[in-house]
């Protein structure tokens, strides 16, 4: 099938351990009849689709204007100062205060979020026929707006800076000390009240990555974190585009789904979340597997000698590195190993994990290598938006109880086991990884909007189209759940 056939034939050139596998390129056959790419299309990786008629372009332009206007409204109002959706923040974007506007109220924020989401939903069906340059221009404007914006929605970025300053400036171990220990530091007033007595839950690789930012001062560190988040987001977009090309999926549609998603732009990017770095590393690993050409190095068990495929090894290493940024990124690793059945990926993952944990132990001691402690702590929390809480309310319960946490963990283990079995039996490992990440977000009692962007790039390049529908539905439900204040006096 078009591009897929090219990949499959390349993959077959690869000597492998175990039965021959088409790796990331194999999996479910798409349910839609596939029209093969022409030679020209294959060369550029983009299907040539007739340009949209003028009325469609006009409608698309109107949707784009709605997206830009709603983002701009949020940004300008957020610059006026702290409010229910804008945490207290160091001085950034002060010049925006000269623009007309008021403090960002919940109603304005939700109205803009709803308008943005509606425009996004309207734009998606038109994505394939839009000019690529217009799409990239829209993304650039939206990202530029949220980059100059003050931090909104979450105080997480101040926690990143606080942990970095604890280590780089105050010589404290962020895995055994808490931000309360640096209460005289200028970043302390901005750390969320819920997190001042909590050690870092982030992976050691991210902590090491964040240390240089601490040396830039509070405002410099904040801009640095925003830039890192933006670059991570752009990397995710680019990798999604490239993976979609390799998998025979319209890259413009894939880019549109990921790059201008409301949870990506308004929630995650505007709050400078570090999830983009984790997802970028994951997508780079996926990209290496879907672009495998067999020229990466000798790969064989022939003659009893172990050869390592460089691309496979790097893919495994990158997934392990992503898990060292945020441990949730470990989810795709077993699916890749089970499906591709290459020892190179195991070797790469183990090498990266060994190296990362060794450095983490040297720098942070035993607390730094206990990657699951933060996950266990967060999984015991209950957020306003968790589906578990919503179902509990529907069943007449006041909330989530400890037994529910156990049940949810059990359900997640069952789902993971089933997906592993399906992957072993030939299911697309990228789809399985996306399902597992989506399931981990849905079963989490501590659901945050940026958790719902984890499966999104995988969903859009997955062979199983149900995953994309499922991910977008869950995101839509998240947005709907925010709307209660609209209907209250």
Partner 1 sequence: MSTVTEQPSVPARWRERLRPRDDDHGGRGRLYRAETIILALVAVVLTVATVYDVVHQVHVSDRFHADLVSWAAITGRRDRHAIIEQDAKTYTTRDVVCGRTAASSRSAPAVVCLIFQGPVKAGRRHAFGGYYVLKSGRRKNRVKDVASQRYACFGDATAQGFRCRVTAPPGAPDKPL
Question: Which residues contact partner 1 by CB under 8 A?
Answer: 18-22, 26-29, 31, 341, 387, 389-391, 393-394, 398, 421-422, 424-428, 442, 466, 470, 473-474, 477, 480-481, 483-485, 487-489
CB of 424 to partner 1, least distance (A): 6
C-beta of 212 vs 399, nearer to partner 1 = 399
**CA-based nearest residue to 130, from 36, 70, 68, 53:** 53
**156-168 vs 217-246: helix axis angle to the nearest 10?**
120
CB 396, min distance to partner 1, A: 9
- Tokens 């790469």 belong to which residue? 348
Phi, psi dihedrals of residue 293, rounded to the nearest 5°: -115, -10
Q: Of 233, 113, 107, 213, whose CA–CA distance to 167 is shortest?
A: 213
Nearer to partner 1, 242 or 339 (CB): 339
Cα distance between residue 273 and residue 158, in whole Å: 10
Give the H/E segment covering residue 167.
helix 156-168
Helix 310-325 with 332-340: angle, nearest 10 deg? 160
Q: How far is the CB of 166 from partner 1 (least distance, A)?
A: 30
274 and 325 Cβ atoms separated by less than 8 Å: yes
Q: Is 83 strand, coil or helix?
A: strand
C-alpha span between 20 and 350 (Å, rounded): 23
Phi, psi of 86 (to 5 degrees): -125, 110
- Give the C-alpha separation, 73 to 80, whole Å: 11
CB of 131 to partner 1, least distance (A): 34
The CB density around residue 385, as the number of other CB atoms within 10 Å, is 19
Is 142:120 a contact under the CB 8 Å cutoff? no
Q: Which two tokens stand for residue 280?
A: 């970028």
**Rounded CA separation 264/120 (Å):** 12
* Closest CB 242 distance from partner 1, rounded Å: 24
Q: Which residue, 215 or 413, is less far from partner 1 as judged by CB?
A: 413
CB-wise, 21 or 322, nearer to partner 1?
A: 21
The 8-class DSSP code of residue 33 comes to P
CA dist., res. 280 & res. 267, Å (int)? 17
* Least distance (Å) between residue 390 CB and partner 1: 4
Nearer to partner 1, 274 or 471 (CB): 471
At its nearest, how many Å lie between partner 1 and the CB of residue 248? Answer: 16
Nearer to partner 1, 104 or 479 (CB): 479
Residue nearer to partner 1 on the CB measure, 30 or 92:
30
Residue closer to partner 1, measured from CB, 301 or 480: 480
362 C-beta neighbours (distance < 10 Å), count = 11
Closest separation in Å from C-beta 246 to partner 1: 18
Q: Least distance in Å: CB of 225 to partner 1?
A: 32
What are phi and psi for residue 83, nearest 5 degrees? -155, -170
Cα separations in angstroms, 330 against 77, 115, 316:
38, 35, 10
Q: Give the end-to-end CA distance of the chain in Å, rounded to a whole number.
A: 56
CB-wise, 22 or 375, nearer to partner 1? 22
Least Å from the CB of residue 185 to partner 1 = 25
Closer Cβ to partner 1, 140 or 391, answer by number: 391
């Amino acid at each position: 099938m078009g591009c897929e056939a090219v990949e499959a034939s390349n993959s077959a050139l690869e000597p492998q351990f175990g039965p021959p596998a088409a790796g990331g390129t194999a999996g479910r056959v798409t349910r839609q009849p596939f029209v093969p790419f022409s030679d020209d299309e294959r060369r550029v990786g983009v299907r040539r689709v007739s340009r949209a008629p003028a009325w469609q372009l006009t409608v698309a332009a109107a949707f784009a204007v709605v997206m830009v206007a709603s983002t701009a409204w949020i940004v300008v109002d957020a610059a006026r100062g702290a409010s229910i959706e804008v945490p207290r923040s160091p001085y950034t974007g002060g010049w925006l205060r000269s623009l007309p506007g008021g403090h960002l109220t919940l109603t304005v924020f939700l109205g803009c979020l709803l308008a943005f989401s509606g425009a996004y939903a309207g734009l998606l069906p038109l994505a394939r026929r839009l000019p690529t340059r217009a799409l990239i221009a829209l993304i650039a404007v939206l990202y530029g707006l949220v980059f100059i914006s003050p931090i909104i929605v979450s105080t997480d970025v101040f926690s990143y800076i606080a942990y970095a300053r604890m280590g780089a400036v105050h010589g404290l171990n962020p895995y055994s000390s808490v931000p309360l220990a640096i209460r005289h530091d200028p970043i302390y007033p901005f750390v969320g009240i819920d997190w001042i007595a909590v050690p870092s839950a982030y992976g050691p690789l991210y902590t090491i990555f964040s240390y240089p930012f601490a040396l830039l001062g509070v405002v410099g560190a904040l801009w640095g974190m925003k830039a890192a988040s933006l670059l991570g987001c752009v990397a995710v977009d680019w990798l999604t585009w490239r993976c979609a090309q390799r998998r025979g999926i319209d890259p413009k549609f894939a880019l549109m789904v990921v790059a201008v998603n409301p949870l990506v732009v308004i929630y995650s990017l505007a709050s400078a979340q570090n999830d983009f770095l984790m997802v970028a590393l994951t997508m780079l690993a996926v990209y290496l597997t879907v672009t495998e050409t067999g020229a990466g190095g000798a790969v064989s068990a022939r003659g009893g000698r172990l050869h390592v495929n460089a691309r496979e090894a790097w893919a495994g290493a990158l997934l392990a590195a992503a898990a060292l940024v945020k441990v949730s990124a470990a989810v795709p690793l077993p699916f890749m190993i089970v499906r591709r059945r290459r020892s190179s990926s195991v070797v790469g993952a183990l090498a990266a994990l060994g190296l990362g944990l060794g450095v983490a132990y040297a720098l942070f001691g035993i607390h730094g290598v206990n990657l699951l402690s933060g996950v266990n702590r967060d999984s015991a929390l209950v957020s306003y938006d968790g589906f578990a809480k919503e179902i509990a309310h529907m069943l007449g319960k006041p909330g989530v109880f400890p037994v529910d946490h156990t049940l949810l963990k059990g359900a997640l283990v069952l789902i993971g086991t089933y997906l592993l079995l399906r992957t072993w039996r030939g299911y697309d490992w990228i789809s399985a990884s996306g399902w597992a990440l989506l399931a981990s977000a849905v079963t989490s009692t501590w659901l945050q909007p940026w958790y719902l962007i984890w499966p999104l790039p995988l969903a859009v390049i997955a062979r199983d189209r149900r995953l994309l529908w499922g991910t977008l539905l869950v995101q839509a439900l998240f947005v709907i759940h925010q709307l209660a204040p609209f209907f209250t006096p």
